[in-house]
């Protein structure tokens, strides 16, 4: 069994013969050279008593180079990490720690960088003075790369969560708070120590006093936790007038549901704007419907799409639900196409308002009509609006007044003629006629 060697500071020790000592040395050599790392023993002066052959894979240098001090271990430790390694070792010895684990970078012989975990067993003499260190060097380069990638991923996730306008809360299946963002704390006004406890029940209890319906809030939370696969969306109203949209989805993985994701969006301003718009619309509807003039809204194909109460009464319009087209010329003029002097046609073709004043036999009414173009956001004519005033009664009154004035004028003339003296030139002339 010759040819086997233990690498030590005293040189290669040949192993020969079947003696028990040789067998033990061979077993020790096999152990030192085949563990997944480099085993070493270091002395107080930083010299090495022995070094496992695996160190060549870790550093690019053979064990003999370190044992013969051709390569100094402190030389290959990264300059930024060396002071930390030395300080950590000194503090451990000062406190007489027995176990020391430290992670640091080294410079490989090929110029690349490697991460090592140095696991040390510190040995002291009878007087408590440091004597030596027995250690194991492990290559953790891939582990550190994985940690760095994970750290970057977590950092990106946190940055993404903190940049969103929604408050995010993730609770695991055990009821522990796993993830939350700053917006969540701000929206719910929760002290950080509450969520730092990771107790979801504690966070729920803290926010209940803010809500108008705390019982309904708790019932919904309990329901969703009891049905992990369920999705949910609802509104939360606060005592101070705020309104949140609440969304909840199960946090799924290939292994199943791992918890629940809660998303909260402050829609207070949107709700106020919607209420203001609704109020303004209702006001407009009331004003529109109670106008004395008839008003109809038309598209470009002469279809009446909207009408107020006065227009519906004047024209006898059917329900404007889109099922049957209500052509304006049919209801205004009683024709099957626009008349030649149609105000609507002029308005649609020019984009300018137009007016007309005419008697409509179809309705037996005299109407004053003003056509106003409807302009879309692209400044194009999208239709028109008719504002119609029924002036039938006014025209009848005007006609009656005209006739009355005419009759009164005739009576006055006859009265003057009757009052002239007989034989006057005027009378004689009149007699000649």
Q: Are 23 and 6 in contact (CB under 8 A)?
A: no
- Tell me the pLDDT of the chain (433 aa) as tens digits: 333 344 555 544 444 445 555 565 566 566 666 667 899 999 888 788 889 989 999 999 999 999 999 998 989 999 999 999 999 999 999 999 999 999 999 999 999 999 999 999 999 999 999 999 999 999 999 999 999 898 888 888 878 777 788 999 999 999 999 989 999 999 999 998 999 899 999 999 999 999 999 999 999 999 999 999 999 999 999 999 999 999 999 998 888 899 999 999 999 999 999 999 999 999 999 999 999 999 999 999 999 999 999 999 999 999 888 788 899 999 999 999 998 888 888 888 899 999 999 999 989 999 999 999 999 989 999 999 999 999 999 999 988 888 888 888 777 777 766 665 655 555 444 443 3
d(CA 207, CA 196): 15
> 46 and 135 share a domain?
yes
d(CA 316, CA 385): 18
d(CA 268, CA 245): 9
Domain boundary among the residues 237, 253, 268 is at 268
> 175 and 212 share a domain?
yes
Q: Does residue 158 sit within a domain?
A: no
> 200 and 242 share a domain?
yes
65 CB contacts (<8 Å, ≥6 apart)? 71
Q: Does residue 155 sit within a domain?
A: no
What Rg, from alpha-carbon coordinates, does the chain have? Answer: 50
Q: Does residue 171 sit within a domain?
A: yes
pLDDT of residue 200: 92
> 321 and 371 share a domain?
yes
Q: Does residue 430 sit within a domain?
A: no
Q: Does residue 20 sit within a domain?
A: no
DSSP 281-338: HHHHHHHHHT-SSEEEEEETTSBEEEE-HHHHHHHT----SSSS--BHHHHHTS-SS-
Angle at 190 between CA 188 and CA 196, to 5 degrees: 130
> 48 and 127 share a domain?
yes
Q: Does residue 275 sit within a domain?
A: no
CATH code of the domain containing 47: 3.30.450.20
Question: For residue 305, with 0-12 CB atoms within 10 Å meaning exposed, 13-18 middle and 19 or more buried, which class applies?
Answer: middle
Q: Which domain holds residue 131?
A: 35-145
Domain boundary among the residues 237, 268, 299 is at 268
> 195 and 132 share a domain?
no
> 168 and 249 share a domain?
yes
> 263 and 196 share a domain?
yes
Q: Does residue 347 sit within a domain?
A: yes
Q: Does residue 154 sit within a domain?
A: no
pLDDT of residue 411: 76
> 76 and 120 share a domain?
yes
> 168 and 139 share a domain?
no
> 189 and 247 share a domain?
yes
Element (H, E) at 226: helix 214-226
> 141 and 169 share a domain?
no
Structural domain total, the chain: 3
């Amino acid at each position: 069994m010759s040819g086997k060697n233990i690498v030590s500071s005293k040189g290669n020790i040949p192993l020969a013969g079947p003696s028990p000592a040789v067998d033990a040395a061979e077993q020790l050599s096999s152990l030192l050279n085949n563990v997944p790392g480099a085993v070493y023993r270091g002395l107080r002066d930083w010299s090495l008593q022995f070094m496992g052959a695996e160190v060549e894979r870790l550093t690019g240098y053979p064990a003999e180079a370190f044992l013969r001090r051709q390569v100094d271990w402190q030389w290959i430790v990264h300059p930024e990490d060396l002071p930390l390694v030395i300080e950590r070792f000194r503090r451990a010895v000062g406190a007489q720690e027995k176990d020391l684990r430290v992670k640091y970078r080294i410079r490989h012989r090929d110029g690349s960088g490697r991460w090592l975990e140095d696991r040390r067993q510190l040995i002291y003499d009878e007087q408590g003075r440091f004597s030596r260190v027995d250690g194991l060097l492990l290559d953790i380069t891939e582990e550190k790369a994985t940690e760095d990638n994970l750290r970057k991923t977590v950092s990106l996730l946190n940055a993404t969560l903190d940049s969103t306008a929604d408050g995010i809360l993730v609770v695991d299946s055990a009821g522990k708070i796993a993830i939350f963002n700053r917006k969540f704390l701000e929206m719910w006004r929760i002290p950080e120590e509450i969520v730092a406890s990771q107790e979801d029940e504690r966070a729920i209890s803290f926010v209940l006093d803010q809500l108008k319906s705390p019982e309904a809030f708790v019932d919904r939370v309990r329901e969703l936790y009891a049905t992990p696969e369920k999705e949910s969306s609802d509104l939360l109203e606060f005592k101070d007038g705020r309104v949140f949209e609440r969304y909840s989805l199960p946090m799924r993985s290939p292994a199943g549901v791992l918890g629940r994701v809660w998303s909260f969006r402050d829609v207070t301003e949107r709700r106020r704007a919607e209420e203001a718009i609704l109020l303004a619309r209702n006001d407009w509807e009331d004003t529109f419907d109670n106008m004395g003039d008839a008003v109809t809204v038309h598209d470009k194909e002469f279809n009446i799409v909207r009408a107020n109460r006065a227009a519906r009464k004047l024209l006898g319009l059917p329900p404007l639900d889109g099922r049957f087209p209500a052509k304006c010329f049919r209801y205004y003029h009683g024709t099957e196409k626009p008349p030649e002097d149609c105000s609507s046609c002029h308005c649609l073709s020019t984009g300018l308002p137009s007016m007309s004043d005419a008697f409509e036999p179809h309705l037996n009414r005299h109407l004053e009509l003003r056509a106003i173009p409807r302009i879309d956001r692209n400044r194009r004519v999208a239709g028109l609006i008719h504002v119609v005033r029924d002036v039938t009664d006014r025209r009848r009154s005007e006609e009656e007044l005209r006739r009355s004035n005419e009759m009164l004028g005739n009576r006055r003339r006859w009265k003057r003629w009757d009052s002239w003296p007989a034989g006057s030139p005027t009378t004689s002339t009149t007699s000649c006629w």
